[in-house]
Amino acid sequence: MYKCYHCNVNFDHKDNTELKQGLCPGCGGTNYINAFKCSICGKYHFPEETYKGICYKCAEAKYTNRLGLRWLDKHKEYFLNLWGIEKVDKDLKDDLIEVLEKDFLSKVDLDTDWNKQLSHLKNYILEDMDVWIEFLKEEKFNG
């Protein structure tokens, strides 16, 4: 399946006279590329809009605070990033993460997020959609 950057038309290359001539059947242009089907929404997207078969829009829509906290359980380096700690002695790293994790979780409010802990976590997670999609695939949230 192809998708045109100019007119967003999806088209197949089989028996397509225009494509055989190198033209998009929607607009007659030549600016098209192989498209990828999202395993969640079933729509075709440009390569830069997908990762491992999931489009970024669907991946973002799958986010919930509870799922974000589950992601956090597997990505504890977040606590160091939250506090801007770039270097820490290897012997102290696990203990420090444990203290920071307890502090963070004690302040989490799933009902109102009054202190924006969960909002910050969501923004952090969704900044790297590829890592988020990897997590969704591991958790089998891909369709």
Whether 70 is in a domain gets the answer: yes
- In this structure, are residues 36 and 45 in contact, taking their beta carbons and an 8 Å threshold? yes
Q: What is the 3-state secondary structure (H, E, C) of 42-68?
A: CCEECHHHEECCEEHHHHHHCCCHHHH
Indicate left, alpha or beta for 76 from its phi (over 0: left) and psi (-120 to 50: alpha): alpha
> Which residues on adjacent β-strands are paired with residue 44?
37
Calculate mean pLDDT across residues 55-69.
96
Query: What per-residue confidence (pLDDT) applies to 20?
Result: 62
99 and 40 belong to one structural domain: no
Same domain, 13 and 49: yes
Domain identity same for 106 and 72: yes
Question: pLDDT category, 17, cuts 50, 70, 90?
Answer: low
What percentage of residues in the chain have a pLDDT greater than 90?
73
Residue 112: φ, ψ to 5°: -120, -20
> What residues make up the domain containing 53?
2-57
Please indicate whether residue 90 or residue 37 has the higher confidence score (pLDDT): 37
